[in-house]
Chain A
Amino acid sequence: MESGGPLPAKVSFAMNAWKALFVISLVLFGATAVQAAPPAPDAKPRLVYLVSDLRIPFWNVMWRGVNARATELGYEVTALSAENHAKQELEHTAKAIRERAAGIIVSPTNSSACVTILKLAKNAGVPVVISDIGTDGGDYVSYVSSDNEDGAYQIGKVLAEQMKKRGWRDGRVGIIAIPQKRANGKARTAGFMRAMDEAGIKGAGLRQQVTFSYQETYDFAKQLIESAPDLRALWLQGSDRYQGALDAIRDTGKTGEILLVTFDAEPEFLDLIPAGTLVGAGMQQPFLMGRKAVDALDAHLRGETVTREQKLPVLAVSPDNIEKELPTIKRNVLGLATP
């Protein structure tokens, strides 16, 4: 299950130091993955992490979680990034099978392609654990994902609390959503609206993203603002185009009158949230997801019963708790804590 658009930049850090650290880490681990050699007969069991694109920070953080946990458990692990190409992903799958990997952790390019991967792996007898992006079908050991509904519910409560603080009782909320045909999109909308209902806040409209572009986000935000004079908040179900929404608020002269919350996080949110530019964000924990995926595969290889579906909590970060959650954010969200 994906966390944003088709090829979203999962994580972007506002701070340059963090960016530098991230790029160094990416180059370091990417080179390691590409250069992995076939295991020797008496070598450690080898795991392969088939990933859509390691250049995406979210996947990179997740790879780090995989790598850290696999290493801890004594596995040799290789990450094969498909660079978001299905053909390359299949080639990597064939390669992993051909090289007799003990197990595969896959964050596929999409849930459909995952089916073919699962099918090929099954035919070869290789167990597979899926992390984050799900599959449209096939057999797998376990599926590790974020609890989107609960995360959205939590971030909804954060927004309600912020509006309450400001004494806004009658304001409404506009939603700029990812496609609602996706399961995670439906879950996020459902959780958020449950929180709104509990707070007595009414919706002012929903726009579904198609191109995931800045302009699309800006336009949707402006439409919602202009169509609802009593609009008091915008909720962005993705994080990467948050600037379009902020610009629309500014351009409509609603700065300070309309709050902005997001799902997922960008590194600069560590600054924007305390500054009040954003009043909250629901943050997934890719590092933790990678670790859980390895744990599941390891348990399976050891013959233990594995929970077929694991939903990990989403951190609802607000100006009120960012200070407290910062260590967790750094480790599980940004993957900055190495094993």
Chain B
Amino acid sequence: MNDKTYSLYAVIVAVIVLSVCAVMAVHVSVSYVTMKNRVVEDTRARAESTLASLQKNIAGFMESFAANEYEKLILTEMDFPDFHAIVVEDYNLGSILGMNAYVTGKIRDDAWRPIDYDRDNPNHRHVVKDCVQKSIQPILSSSGQQIGSVTVCVFGHSLQMALRDVVVTQGINAAAIALLLIMTLFYTLHRIVLKPVSKIARTLTMVDPDGIPRASVTVRGPREISSLSSSVNAMIEAIRNSRRELMEQHEKLREERNRFQLAVQGSQDGLWDWNPVTGEVFFSDQWQAMIGYAPGEIGNTFAEWSNRIHPDDLTRAVEAVNAHLNGETELYEVRHRMACKNGAWKWILARGKALFDDQGKPIRVVGFHTDVTREVEHQEELSEARRQAEQASQAKSEFLASMSHELRTPLNAILGFSQLLKYDPKNPLTPAQLDHVESIIMGGEHLLELVNEILDLARIEAKQEPMSLEDVDAYAVIAESVALSAPLAKSKNITIEDRGGEGSSPVLRTDRKRFKQILLNLLSNAIKYNHAGGTVTVSSEEMDQGYLRVRVSDTGRGIAPQDFNKVFHLFQRLGEDPAIAHEGTGIGLTVTKLLVERMAGRVDFESELGKGSTFWFELPLASNHEAVIWADTLRIGVDAIDKDHQGIVVLMNKASHRDIDETDMDGLVRQLLDHARQHFRREEAVMRVCHFPDLESHRAIHQDLTRQIEALETQWRQTHDLAIVNDIRELLRTLWIGHVMRDDVKISAYAEGKSHEILKALKGLA
């Protein structure tokens, strides 16, 4: 037992004893004082009364010389123990006896018994002379003459006796009462409180190996004790239940842990557990094995992680950590490279989550390292492939543009001279020659059309086609386009229905010429791929998102589902109908798609084989201020950067359509962010070779944008909430475009005459 503990019994007994003794002591003291005061007062009153009585009663006896009678009175009065002596001087009897006075009376002996007063005894005289309180009264005869005197000497004997009695009697009584009270109180407390409490305590000490009482408390007693017992039993039961639940939870936890360990082992992820307070980090064996280390070969400090991060990734990784610890991101997630034991680099996807205390301070961060090297390498391969494809496409476009110019000049010459041959009245052609010339002209015109479309496509793909934005009356353009297509339709016995001309016309903010080109392309295809007697229907509809959807439907043969993904590919002419193959170039839909997307729109189709197709495109209304259309106003004058910006704008606009499915949006977001990151790197590379003075601050802006975009990306991946996409788009539309208009535009001044260096830098970056 602890020395500081004490017995409840001891305390109760001590309290009872002390309390009762204190009460009894007070009682005795009060009784003592009360008795003292009362006895003193009684003695005083008795003395006065006695003296007065004696003074009155003795006179008669003294006059009748009945000395014995008044001596009996004195003896009677001496019954009062406080009288030490009563002495009478009798002048009458004294005169008979030949003396001044006959002196008689009573006085106390040592045993406090009254004896005769002896005037010749010095002790007697001394008592009368020096007693504590002495009262003398004359005794007068019936005639008023003094015939004697009476003296009463008071000694506080009764006071002494009374006080002694008080001390003794009250002491004995108090002791007896105290003992009775103590025994009664203790017995009562023992029966009512201590015994049940002790039983409860004993029951609570008889515990099982888990420290839980084996039995319930069974005590009977007053309501409070019963309530305590019930509460204790309820507590015991609650503890048992808690233990049972705890065991179940423990079992579940163990299963979960096993499952988790299996999962971790199966995923080959490395677990890390960082304590930001102490700086210690736990690295699982798998974590260490991931970068080639044996278990225990790596310490447990933060530096073990940070020192192994690729220098180019370190800042970003640390910033990601800080962003999460600062509460800016829901989860910590970053990709970075880590140095392996053998010196190689591995791409790691680091993910984790922090626990915070009540003050918001991080107290623990736990997460995984996933080896994504293969994935990254695959992505890089894909990116490289895409880049190469883009380069090839670019080269192709450049080649086609160049070649188209080179082709068109001689082609125009061929057509011109063919026309001269055909219509030269001076030298009319033979029918055979005319037939040949017309074949030349028809082939040449087709070739020229092909060349023109290729040239147009090349300019669009090369992003060299300027956009001239204006408010455009949609119905007017539709009607115009229908009218222009009418001859062709008529020649094929096809009816065109324009259903978009009623009501007020929607107004588009777009390039009128390109809008019309798009419409004409679709009308042309609808006529081409229709059958004789068929119908082409044009309609339009304002969409909720601030777009105008224009539909061009035909009653042709339709498109097989397996060909859907080829529809917008270059030189894809579906159906392989030799009858109509010669009428198309396979470029129109590609151009259409490029133009629509350049104008912040989108194009698609629905088709049913044998019944026809409906191609539609959407362009932003003038009232739509969210759509961003790449225009000359956004051009900064550095082609590479402008192309990047243009690409971002296109992706942004794609992402603005809310009816795309989640998978497409997922890819779109990834594409947009990859594009943005890549652009930032390319832009910084350009600025570097151009010796742009504000490179660092510019980079800081890029980093901030990147961090914000990545945070939104993380949220998107966690929630797939389209509102996040809106946030990304809004972020790019406001911050990024503002950045372009405000900061990027400054680059052009430093880029003049450095196109070669820029190209080289960008190639090196790739």
CB within 8 Å of B: which residues of A? 86-87, 89-91, 94, 98, 112-116, 119-120, 136-137
Per-residue CB proximity of B71-111 to A under 8 Å, as 1/0? 11000000000000000000011001110000000000000
Q: Is B356 an interface residue (CB 8 A)?
A: no
Q: Is B376 an interface residue (CB 8 A)?
A: no
CB contact between A94 and one of B64, B66, B72, B98 (< 8 Å): that residue: B98
Tell whether, in the assembled complex, residue B66 and residue A112 are in contact, meaning their CB atoms are under 8 Å apart: yes
Tell whether, in the assembled complex, residue A136 and residue B96 are in contact, meaning their CB atoms are under 8 Å apart: no
Tell whether, in the assembled complex, residue A113 and residue B98 are in contact, meaning their CB atoms are under 8 Å apart: no
Nearest B residue (CB) for A89: B65
Cα separation A87 to B71 with both chains bound (whole Å): 16
Nearest B residue (CB) for A115: B68
Tell whether, in the assembled complex, residue A90 and residue B68 are in contact, meaning their CB atoms are under 8 Å apart: no
Q: A90-B65, A113-B68, A115-B68 are in contact. List 16 more A-B contacts (CB 8 A).
A: A86-B65, A87-B64, A87-B92, A90-B67, A90-B93, A94-B96, A98-B98, A112-B69, A112-B72, A115-B71, A116-B65, A116-B66, A116-B93, A119-B67, A120-B97, A136-B72
User: Nearest Cβ in chain B — how far from A104, in angstroms?
Assistant: 15
- Dominant SS among interface residues on chain B: helix
Nearest A residue (CB) for B63: A87
Cα separation A89 to B97 with both chains bound (whole Å): 12
User: Nearest Cβ in chain B — how far from A128, in angstroms?
Assistant: 14
- Dominant SS among interface residues on chain A: helix
Using a Cβ–Cβ cut-off of 8 Å, how many residues does chain B contribute to the interface with A?
Answer: 13
Cα separation A120 to B98 with both chains bound (whole Å): 13
Q: Which residues of A contact B72 (CB under 8 A)?
A: 112, 136
CB contact between B65 and one of A87, A114, A115, A137 (< 8 Å): that residue: A87
Sort A-B residue pairs by CB-CB distance and give the 6 closest, nearest first: A115-B68, A116-B67, A86-B65, A112-B68, A87-B65, A116-B68
**Most chain B CB inside 10 Å of its own CB: which residue of A90, A94, A114, A136:** A90
Q: Which residues of B contact A120 (CB under 8 A)?
A: 97
Tell whether, in the assembled complex, residue A137 and residue B96 are in contact, meaning their CB atoms are under 8 Å apart: no
User: Nearest Cβ in chain B — how far from A288, in angstroms?
Assistant: 29
Nearest B residue (CB) for A88: B65
Q: Which residues of A contact B66 (CB under 8 A)?
A: 86, 112-113, 116
Cα separation A116 to B61 with both chains bound (whole Å): 12
User: Nearest Cβ in chain A — how far from B169, in angstroms?
Assistant: 35
User: Nearest Cβ in chain B — how far from A71, in angstroms?
Assistant: 30
Q: Which residues of B contact A98 (CB under 8 A)?
A: 98
User: Nearest Cβ in chain A — how far from B89, in angstroms?
Assistant: 15
Cα separation A119 to B70 with both chains bound (whole Å): 14
User: Nearest Cβ in chain B — how far from A303, in angstroms?
Assistant: 27
Q: Which residues of A contact B68 (CB under 8 A)?
A: 112-116, 119, 136-137
Q: Among residues 662 to 677 in chain B, which have CB atoms less than 8 Å away from a CB atom of chain A? A: none
Tell whether, in the assembled complex, residue A94 and residue B65 are in contact, meaning their CB atoms are under 8 Å apart: no
Tell whether, in the assembled complex, residue A94 and residue B67 are in contact, meaning their CB atoms are under 8 Å apart: no
Nearest B residue (CB) for A98: B98
Tell whether, in the assembled complex, residue B96 and residue A91 are in contact, meaning their CB atoms are under 8 Å apart: yes
User: Nearest Cβ in chain B — how far from A169, in angstroms?
Assistant: 49
User: Nearest Cβ in chain B — how far from A282, in angstroms?
Assistant: 30
Q: Which residues of A contact B97 (CB under 8 A)?
A: 90, 94, 120
Check A86/B98 contact, CB under 8 A, given A112-B69, A115-B71: no
Nearest B residue (CB) for A110: B66
Nearest B residue (CB) for A111: B68
Cα separation A273 to B98 with both chains bound (whole Å): 52
Cα separation A137 to B115 with both chains bound (whole Å): 13
Q: Which residues of B contact A113 (CB under 8 A)?
A: 65-66, 68
Cα separation A86 to B98 with both chains bound (whole Å): 17
Nearest B residue (CB) for A86: B65
Nearest A residue (CB) for B64: A86
Cα separation A89 to B66 with both chains bound (whole Å): 11
Query: What would be 17 A-B contacts, judged by CB atoms less than 8 Å apart?
Result: A86-B64, A86-B66, A87-B64, A87-B92, A90-B93, A90-B96, A98-B98, A112-B69, A112-B72, A113-B65, A113-B66, A115-B67, A116-B67, A116-B71, A120-B97, A136-B72, A137-B68
Q: Which residues of B contact A136 (CB under 8 A)?
A: 68, 72
Cα separation A113 to B199 with both chains bound (whole Å): 84
Per-residue CB proximity of B50-66 to A under 8 Å, as 1/0? 00000000000000111
Nearest A residue (CB) for B116: A119
User: Nearest Cβ in chain B — how far from A231, in angstroms?
Assistant: 40
**Most chain B CB inside 10 Å of its own CB: which residue of A115, A116, A120:** A116
Q: Which residues of A contact B65 (CB under 8 A)?
A: 86-87, 89-90, 113, 116
User: Nearest Cβ in chain A — how far from B118, in angstroms?
Assistant: 10
Cα separation A136 to B66 with both chains bound (whole Å): 12
Cα separation A87 to B62 with both chains bound (whole Å): 10
User: Nearest Cβ in chain A — how far from B282, in angstroms?
Assistant: 118
Cα separation A90 to B65 with both chains bound (whole Å): 8
Per-residue CB proximity of B477-521 to A under 8 Å, as 1/0? 000000000000000000000000000000000000000000000
Nearest B residue (CB) for A91: B96
Cα separation A116 to B66 with both chains bound (whole Å): 8
User: Nearest Cβ in chain A — how far from B95, in angstroms?
Assistant: 10
Nearest B residue (CB) for A92: B96
Cα separation A10 to B68 with both chains bound (whole Å): 26
User: Nearest Cβ in chain A — how far from B326, in angstroms?
Assistant: 121
User: Nearest Cβ in chain A — how far from B58, in angstroms?
Assistant: 14
User: Nearest Cβ in chain B — how far from A312, in angstroms?
Assistant: 26
User: Nearest Cβ in chain B — how far from A29, in angstroms?
Assistant: 25
**Most chain A CB inside 10 Å of its own CB: which residue of B67, B93, B98:** B67
Tell whether, in the assembled complex, residue A87 and residue B96 are in contact, meaning their CB atoms are under 8 Å apart: yes
User: Nearest Cβ in chain B — how far from A100, in angstroms?
Assistant: 14
User: Nearest Cβ in chain B — how far from A177, in angstroms?
Assistant: 25
Q: Which residues of B contact A91 (CB under 8 A)?
A: 96
User: Nearest Cβ in chain A — how far from B242, in angstroms?
Assistant: 97
Nearest A residue (CB) for B118: A123
Q: Which residues of B contact A90 (CB under 8 A)?
A: 65, 67, 93, 96-97
Per-residue CB proximity of B559-602 to A under 8 Å, as 1/0? 00000000000000000000000000000000000000000000
**Most chain B CB inside 10 Å of its own CB: which residue of A87, A89, A94, A98:** A87
Cα separation A119 to B93 with both chains bound (whole Å): 13
Q: Which residues of A contact B69 (CB under 8 A)?
A: 112
User: Nearest Cβ in chain B — how far from A113, in angstroms?
Assistant: 7
Cα separation A90 to B93 with both chains bound (whole Å): 8
User: Nearest Cβ in chain A — how far from B103, in angstroms?
Assistant: 12
Cα separation A114 to B65 with both chains bound (whole Å): 12
Nearest B residue (CB) for A138: B68
Cα separation A116 to B92 with both chains bound (whole Å): 14
Cα separation A120 to B66 with both chains bound (whole Å): 13
Cα separation A98 to B98 with both chains bound (whole Å): 10
Q: Among residues 109 to 156 in chain B, which have CB atoms less than 8 Å away from a CB atom of chain A? A: none
Q: Which residues of A contact B67 (CB under 8 A)?
A: 90, 115-116, 119
Nearest B residue (CB) for A112: B68
Cα separation A113 to B92 with both chains bound (whole Å): 15
Cα separation A115 to B104 with both chains bound (whole Å): 13
Q: Which residues of A contact B98 (CB under 8 A)?
A: 94, 98
Q: Which residues of A contact B96 (CB under 8 A)?
A: 87, 90-91, 94
Cα separation A91 to B96 with both chains bound (whole Å): 6
Nearest A residue (CB) for B69: A112
Nearest B residue (CB) for A135: B68
Nearest B residue (CB) for A114: B68
User: Nearest Cβ in chain A — how far from B62, in angstroms?
Assistant: 11
**Most chain A CB inside 10 Å of its own CB: which residue of B64, B68, B96:** B68
Cα separation A178 to B68 with both chains bound (whole Å): 23
User: Nearest Cβ in chain B — how far from A213, in angstroms?
Assistant: 23
Nearest A residue (CB) for B92: A87
Cα separation A120 to B68 with both chains bound (whole Å): 11
User: Nearest Cβ in chain A — how far from B151, in angstroms?
Assistant: 19
Q: Which residues of B contact A119 (CB under 8 A)?
A: 67-68
Cα separation A259 to B423 with both chains bound (whole Å): 215
Cα separation A120 to B93 with both chains bound (whole Å): 11
Nearest B residue (CB) for A120: B97
Cα separation A89 to B68 with both chains bound (whole Å): 13
Cα separation A115 to B61 with both chains bound (whole Å): 14
Nearest A residue (CB) for B98: A94
User: Nearest Cβ in chain B — how far from A215, in angstroms?
Assistant: 27
